A and B are shown apart, each in its own frame.
Chain A
Amino acid sequence: MADSVFLAISVLTIGSAIAALEVRSLIYGSISLMGTLGGIAGYFLLLDSPFVAMFQIAVYIGSIAVLILFTVMLVRRQLIFTKVEDPRRRYAGIGLMLIMMVALGAIILSSGIKTIQTDAPPIDFRTIGADFLTYYWPALILMALILASSVVGALTLARREDMEDDQRTN
């Protein structure tokens, strides 16, 4: 059961990743990108971590893919994209990807992933939360500060300076 689901998710993820690169229509490409991201959420579900899977869906499909879609819809394709057909670049890209995959695979295989017990119980997200607040608190504080500063920066950027005070909504 799990094997067939894994196969199905793999086909979905890799297939829609290829489609996202190769499809001519930008809209369909971004829909395929959503398929890829959803497939990764499916992997997390298979790995018994629904918490990460739900965040994957909520953040990547619900926000980032929507932003990509939104940008693509406002773009006039024929003006900014001139298609460069160059077989050497394509083969170089494929070779680079293969090298990357082999290197990443070697790193993952040497990281002791083979000794992981596959029937271990899944880690509760409450444990992760407790760890964040106790042992990893500097990382949490750092992330919080970065996020807060980026929110403040976004609000500052969004504030329009060319607007008169009586035009400003309040």
Chain B
Amino acid sequence: MSAIAPKFRFSYFLKSILDNVFWIVTLFTLIGIPLVMILLFYIELPVINGKKLLDPYLALTTLADPSRQIPMLKSIIHSDFFRITAFPGFGFAALLAAATIFIERKMLAKLQLRVGPFYCGKVEGILQLMGDGLKLISKEIIIPAKADKPIFWAAPVLFVATAAAFVSLIPVASGGWVVADVDVGLLAVFAVIGFFPVITVLSAWSANSKYPFIGGLRALHQMVSFEIPLILSVLGIVILTGTLNLTEIVQSQDTYWWIVFLPIGAIVFFIAILAELERIPFDLPEAESEIVAGWLTEFSGMMYGLVQLGSYVKLYAFAALFVVLFLGGWHGPMVWPPFPEEIITNGITMGPITVHLPGLPLFDQQMLNDVLWFVIKTMGVIFVILLPRGVFPRIRIDLLLHIGWYKLIGLSFVNIFIALGLLYAGVLGPGGIL
């Protein structure tokens, strides 16, 4: 019997869970299923092969018939909702962000000869992240007494929303696997990035506390000054490809990656990414040894969790942008095995039963291969972004601004001149040799 909850009995716990399950099943049977049946008569569903996708009269047989489920799954996968929430959009990014947090903690521990998360989930602390998430959700949200409440509440949500908007512009695989395939994608990325300093400094101001305000001002200096080399360093690619669409930029790297021809631009872009993401060695806005936690100091509970989620989603988005711009996006050799033909032609045979599944495969081989290469490259870039945290100390703010304003801007102009030289020499670009 624990000291925290003295009345706790495992049997009571089981009883309460079974009680809830009983009521959920009862209510779903009495209200849920009739409601779904009624709704199905009113929803316009797509017609496939002359049949409605989900016939209301056959709604329950669908549960037992895989040949009816696969078209439904496919239509869900190709809907905008799925794109925005799950695959190339927020869910995918959040999953990679969660993996990033775990990898960061373990890798940092190994670099510093520690163990890192170890006990949660038996195997190398694999459930630590879930535990942290549960803790953050269950904690109380404390708001400072003199805080500006509307802005303070809105800031974490806006931060996550801006990061999600950034993610929605990143193409993940060929064949239009991108949420928003806009003609001016690269400019849209920079327009979205411009919101981060606003949100940061507003949340820092609204907490009405010294440490967040100092952190917010530092974040503002850092982000605004590093946006300039960030934009200038990718101009070389825009000059050589003649487009701002991210999908077309990836398609232009079919044979060679831009990092081969524009290494200076890639280095400048990478350093600017580190500064925009507030990663060590540029983590002055949340310098924990000087100003508690910087602009995150007053956040508690799930508000802090949201800001962390947003910053790791932003980390994924910047790494993916680096892959898209410099590392050839999804291009790579075909390593994904083809879908077995006999499942399509003969079906799956299990003893006396043979199941025919028309409509398979759900994803074609090319798309899966693209996603595999994209994820491998993105995780590689994320790894390189995480690595300095175990190696470098934090630099001073005057050094930071000096690097940003003098060296990186100069180097990005050098990069632009290299790109112009390649263009006018007739090596690359429209009508070039390569």
Q: Are A and B genuine complex partners? A: yes
Q: Is B194 in contact with A61, judged by CB distance below 8 angstroms? A: yes
Q: Is A57 in contact with B201, judged by CB distance below 8 angstroms? A: no
Q: Is B398 in contact with A66, judged by CB distance below 8 angstroms? A: no
Q: Is A54 in contact with B201, judged by CB distance below 8 angstroms? A: no
Task: Answer whether A58 and B220 are a contact pair too, CB < 8 Å, given A27-B205, A31-B202, A69-B202.
Answer: no
Q: Is B190 in contact with A58, judged by CB distance below 8 angstroms? A: yes
- Interface on chain B toward A: helix, strand, loop, or mixed SS? helix
1/0 contact string of A127-170 vs chain B (CB within 8 Å) = 00000000000000000000000000001001000000000011
Name which of A31, A57, A158, A170 has the most chain B CB atoms within 10 A of its CB.
A57
Contact among A51, A54, A66 with B190 in the assembled complex (CB-CB below 8 Å): A54
**A62 / chain B contacts, CB cutoff of 8 Å:** 190-191, 193-195, 197-198, 227
Count how many chain B residues have C-beta atoms less than 8 Å from C-beta atoms of the other chain.
28
161-202 of chain B: CB within 8 A of chain A: 182-184, 187-188, 190-191, 193-195, 197-198, 201-202
Contact among B191, B195, B198 with A54 in the assembled complex (CB-CB below 8 Å): B191
Contact among A50, A57, A66, A170 with B183 in the assembled complex (CB-CB below 8 Å): A50
Query: Within the assembled complex, what's the spacing in Å between the Cα atoms of A155 and B182?
Result: 36
Seen from chain B, the residues whose Cβ lies within 8 Å of a Cβ on chain A are: 148, 151, 182-184, 187-188, 190-191, 193-195, 197-198, 201-202, 205, 213, 217, 220, 224, 227, 242, 396, 398-399, 402, 405
The 8 closest A-B pairs by CB, nearest first: A62-B194, A57-B191, A54-B187, A58-B191, A54-B191, A169-B402, A58-B190, A50-B184
Seen from chain A, the residues whose Cβ lies within 8 Å of a Cβ on chain B are: 27, 31, 34, 50-51, 54-55, 57-58, 61-63, 65-66, 69-70, 73, 125-126, 155, 158, 169-170
Pick 28 A–B contacts, CB within 8 A, sort by A.
Answer: A27-B148, A50-B188, A54-B187, A54-B191, A57-B194, A58-B190, A58-B191, A58-B194, A62-B193, A62-B194, A62-B195, A62-B197, A62-B227, A63-B194, A66-B197, A66-B201, A66-B220, A69-B198, A69-B201, A69-B202, A70-B201, A70-B217, A73-B213, A125-B184, A126-B242, A155-B405, A158-B405, A169-B396
